[in-house]
Structure 1
Amino acid sequence: MTNPASGSVDVMVVLCDGHRCRALRARTEVGPLGVGGDLFDVLREVVRGSRGAVLVRGQCLGACHRAPLVLLLRNAGPNGGDRRGLLVGPVERPEQVAEVVDLVRQADGRPD
């Protein structure tokens, strides 16, 4: 969702695209959420179904020991200046993918 007061995005999903995360993402089992797709495809679909979240591929997030990683950023303040982040990783099993999807939906204010 976009914050009209500041013009900023309220929810940003950052998929680490560093060397290690990119390599390990190939072995991520997305389960029923990503029929024929990978972690990026699952995140892209949940962001498309959001009220304005944004998905970006970021450079190395610096926590390679927890690869593959997803960083979830959301505005916490009324004017969009106070950002809160949650680093989730590793995201390798279907239940971990489902947890990330749920976190994105909660941050976006979606009930499902």
Structure 2
Amino acid sequence: MSYERVFAMKFAKVYPMYVAKAEKKGRSREEVDQVICWLTGYDEAGLARQIEQETDFRTFFADSPAFNPNVALIKGVVCGVRVEDVEDPLMQKIRYLDKLVDELARGKAMEKILRG
């Protein structure tokens, strides 16, 4: 799938998949929201608004209030690619989010996921 197709995907369509992945492993929607808000700077109302408006990933990240400064501490592999090596800035943000949800689903402690 090309980057442009990924960037045009509706965040609201992917969000339930993040939640399902986490819930399947005993985590909660609230924890998924906490991870997303930590990464992007959205508050609960802002996140809900982005989902309701069905914004695409490009807009979701472009409108994020304050991308977390500790994002460089996120390391590891998602879909066979090291997140720290992704060259496209927007794709890297998407992979950071994927990595955080993966860590949540794997049972990692929230304080370690939030790297702060």
Q: Of Structure 1 and Structure 2, which has the larger fraction of its residues in helix?
A: 2
User: Same fold per TM (> 0.5)?
Assistant: no
Q: Of Structure 1 and Structure 2, which has the larger fraction of its residues in strand?
A: 1
**The structure with more radius of gyration:** 1
TM-score, L = length of structure 1? 0.31
TM-score, L = length of structure 2? 0.30
